[in-house]
Amino acid sequence: MNKINDFLFLSASPNQQASHAYRFADALLKTLGERHPAMSVNRRDLAANPLPPLSAAYGAALTKRTPFDDPAFRQSEQLIDELEQSRHLLIATPMHNFTVPATLKLWIDHVLRIGRSFSSGPEGKVGLLADRPTYIIVSSGGFHHGPQARQPDCLSDYLKLVLRTIGIGNTHFVYLQGLVGGAEAVSSAFSSARQQLSQTPLFATVEPESTPSVPSA
């Protein structure tokens, strides 16, 4: 029997562990880990360890009643198993050209699988995985929410739809915006993100100063 983890932590920035989103999410996990020392985290860095591109065999297997143990589904099965074995999902992702980066899109294409992670019928697509609290930390060079917004956000609704398709509706987005603006802008982005995080159920009972502060590089 496979081990159940408290968190699956997916990170998607090409900046890997130097990414602002990664560092914010990692600090969040450290804060939670101090409160719950037995907490277990499965980490998958989608930039450091890129997933293989989709194969023709995968595409063909999707359109037939192919058994789950078919070799064409090996990567997909592994990623879906990781989700099934996690109580919470944490995603740290940059915004690339208004939406998710290619690394995360590839994860989506391996995980959204008809007949496995969702079904499709007259009622539309229905998720087959259990819902779980999901936190998404989104970093961006500019602003897409609030009075300074100068661009659309095609990431949040898209990712919400993707996750809802597989059964995950309990989603909370936290935005680290305006990161191109230098150290002061980064500091302000982190304090705004801490404020957003403190309003989520995960931290509802935690005093704001316990939410992650700007982690040192």
Ligand X SMILES: Cc1cc2nc3c(=O)[nH]c(=O)nc-3n(C[C@H](O)[C@H](O)[C@H](O)COP(=O)(O)O)c2cc1C
| Annotated binding-site residue numbers for FMN | 13, 139-142
Report the residue from 21, 28, 136, 197 that binds ligand X according to the rule CB under 6 A.
Answer: 21
CA dihedral 200, 168, 39, 100 (to 10 degrees): -80
- Closer residue to ligand X, CB minimum distance, 79 or 189: 189
Beta strands in the chain (DSSP E): 5-11, 41-45, 86-94, 118-121, 124-127, 134-139, 171-176
Binding of ligand X at residue 95 (CB under 6 A)? Answer: yes
Asked whether position 140 contacts ligand X by CB under 6 A, the answer is yes
Q: Between 28 and 179, whose beta carbon lies closer to ligand X?
A: 179
Q: Scanning residues 187 to 216, which ones bind ligand X (CB under 6 A)?
A: none
Q: How far is the CB of 100 from ligand X (least distance, A)?
A: 11
**Binding status of residue 152 toward ligand X by CB under 6 A:** no
From 2-10, 66-74, 78-86, 92-100, give the range in contact with ligand X by CB under 6 A. Answer: 92-100
Work out which of 17, 52, 81, 98 binds ligand X, going by CB under 6 A: 98
Among residues 31, 134, 139, 196, which is the contact residue for ligand X, using CB under 6 A? Answer: 139
Is residue 142 a contact residue for ligand X (CB under 6 A)? yes
33 sits near ligand X (criterion: CB under 6 A):
no
The owner of tokens 């932590």 is: 9
Q: How far is CA 187 from the centre of its chain?
A: 23
Counting other chains too, the contacts that 2-6 makes at CB distance below 8 Å and 24 or more residues apart are 2/81, 2/85, 3/40, 3/85, 4/85, 4/86, 4/87, 5/40, 5/41, 5/42, 5/85, 5/86, 5/87, 6/36, 6/39, 6/40, 6/41, 6/86, 6/87, 6/88
Q: Does 13 bind ligand X (CB under 6 A)?
A: yes
| Token pair of 142 as six digits | 């500019």
Nearest distance from C-beta of residue 24 to ligand X, angstroms: 8
Binding residues for ligand X (CB under 6 A): 13, 15, 19-21, 94-98, 139-142, 151, 179
